[in-house]
Amino acid sequence: MTRLGRYIGRQVLGGALMALLVIMALDAVFEFIDETGDVGEGGYSTWLALGYVLLQMPYRAYESFPVATLIGALVALGGLAGRSELTAMRAAGFSVAAMTRAVVLTGVVLALLSVALGEWLAPAASRLGQDLRARSMGGAEAGVGGGVWLRDGQRYIHVARVRERTLVEGVRVYAFDGAALQRLVTAESAAYEDDAWRLEGVTVTAIDDGGVTVRHPVGQRLDAELDPNLLGLVALPPELMPLPELYRYIDYRERNNLESERYRLAFWIKLATPLATVVMLLLAVPLVLHARPRAGAGQQIVVGVLIGITFMLLNRLLNQAGVIYGLPPVLSALAPSLAFLAVALMALQRVR
């Protein structure tokens, strides 16, 4: 990349990160105000509410990345245009193609940053924040206070409470033979040891042609596809799962003939977010070059917000339509980014 390309890249990178910081600060304030309504429930204090809000910010940043990069790029490039720097660059032979290449390369850097947020920081921070909130208010891990259901072949497993990933309470295992219930196993608690769950306080109810028999074995083990990692995935909403774990959970659901459309959609949305970041930056170039040379930062921000809102609404509309009407998840997730990419490329052709 040339020196001018690096200069433009630094300006766009700084503008995008500053816009993201401003959006996150505003989001944190409103989120904290909303969260204070639950302060005082159980042991949930103001400091815990603040901690919870801060731990949710990486995921909020990940969600806002495409819009923040668009606003930041418009302000940064608009500033260069307002100071006639872009005009001077083009007069010196720095073409629109070279400018676009510098912006796109910066977009790749920002896309990689969004991947790092979405795959590593956001899931871990959000899970920690939700667990912190749930434990202080009710005593169980987040997302599983009301119990979770899993399927393992012809068995259906219900866990009432998850104290830790390796310690659960209120376990029920329903074993079916076709449509008939064959056996019911209940346990007061279960701990994960040596690749299996050791059940405590067990009651086994067997149903057959001879009637119903009840026994209370000691040291009962449950061998099932219910390892602690899978249990942790069940407790997470799909948008907070890292891609490898989301893929693994989709595979688990499909092997057990469970609905997986929502999870496959989340998988493709996570793949589409880095692409959307690059597309938003690509769109910023023709928007700035078409604008009046002296367009202020306020006008650039308004344009960025309007386009960002349009993108978000279209994205959510297609995502929901995909779930309701059974559209392919890859189409629902990628269509908004591809549509805006087509608009950006056509706009670029007009400024060459």
Contact assessment for residue 67 and residue 301, using Cβ atoms and an 8 Å cutoff:
no
Contact assessment for residue 307 and residue 72, using Cβ atoms and an 8 Å cutoff:
no
Determine which helix (DSSP H) or strand (DSSP E) holds 171, and give its type and residue range. Answer: strand 167-177
Q: What does the pLDDT read at residue 351?
A: 72
Contact assessment for residue 94 and residue 4, using Cβ atoms and an 8 Å cutoff:
yes
How many residues make up the chain in this entry? 352
Please give the mean pLDDT across all residues of the chain.
Answer: 84
Contact assessment for residue 142 and residue 127, using Cβ atoms and an 8 Å cutoff:
yes
d(CA 305, CA 331): 25
Q: What does the pLDDT read at residue 138?
A: 62
Q: Which pLDDT tens digit goes with each residue over 29-46?
A: 999 999 888 888 878 889
d(CA 200, CA 171): 10
Q: Which pLDDT tens digit goes with each residue over 153-163?
A: 788 888 887 77
- Could you read off the pLDDT tens digit of each residue along the chain, which spans 352 residues? 688 889 999 999 999 999 999 999 999 999 999 988 888 887 888 999 999 999 999 999 998 888 889 888 888 888 888 788 888 888 888 888 888 889 989 989 999 999 998 888 988 898 888 878 877 876 555 544 456 788 887 888 888 877 777 888 888 999 988 778 888 999 998 888 877 888 999 999 998 877 888 888 887 888 776 777 777 676 677 888 888 888 888 888 888 888 888 888 889 989 999 999 999 888 888 888 776 555 555 666 677 778 888 888 888 888 877 777 778 888 888 888 999 999 888 888 887 6
Q: What does the pLDDT read at residue 146?
A: 54
Q: What does the pLDDT read at residue 140?
A: 52
Beta-bridge mates of residue 161: 169
Q: Which pLDDT tens digit goes with each residue over 59-115?
A: 999 988 888 898 888 888 888 887 888 888 888 888 888 888 899 899 899 999 999
SS3 assignment, position 211: strand
Sign of CA pseudo-dihedral 275, 278, 282, 287: positive
Q: What does the pLDDT read at residue 294?
A: 52
Q: One-letter amino acid identity for 151?
A: R
Q: What does the pLDDT read at residue 186?
A: 92
Q: What does the pLDDT read at residue 22?
A: 92
Q: What does the pLDDT read at residue 298?
A: 62
Q: Torsion-angle region of residue 75: left (phi > 0), alpha (psi -120 to 50) or beta?
A: alpha
Q: Torsion-angle region of residue 109: left (phi > 0), alpha (psi -120 to 50) or beta?
A: alpha
DSSP conformation class of 139: S
Could you give the residue ranges of the DSSP H alpha helices within the chain?
A: 3-35, 46-82, 85-91, 96-116, 122-137, 228-234, 243-255, 261-290, 297-325, 329-351
| 289 closest CA partner among 7, 8, 82, 68 | 82
d(CA 221, CA 289): 68
DSSP for 222-291, please give it.
E-SS--HHHHHHHTS-GGGS-HHHHHHHHHHHHHTT---HHHHHHHHHHHHHHHHHHHHHHHHHHHHHHS
Contact assessment for residue 203 and residue 214, using Cβ atoms and an 8 Å cutoff:
yes
Beta-bridge mates of residue 157: 150, 173
Give backbone dihedrals phi and psi of 149, rounded to 5 degrees, phi first. -115, 140
Contact assessment for residue 154 and residue 171, using Cβ atoms and an 8 Å cutoff:
no
Q: What does the pLDDT read at residue 284?
A: 86
Contact assessment for residue 294 and residue 82, using Cβ atoms and an 8 Å cutoff:
yes
Q: What does the pLDDT read at residue 81?
A: 81
Look up the pTM and report it: 0.78
Contact assessment for residue 99 and residue 88, using Cβ atoms and an 8 Å cutoff:
no
Number of other CB atoms surrounding residue 57 within 10 Å: 20
| 100 closest CA partner among 229, 235, 4 | 4
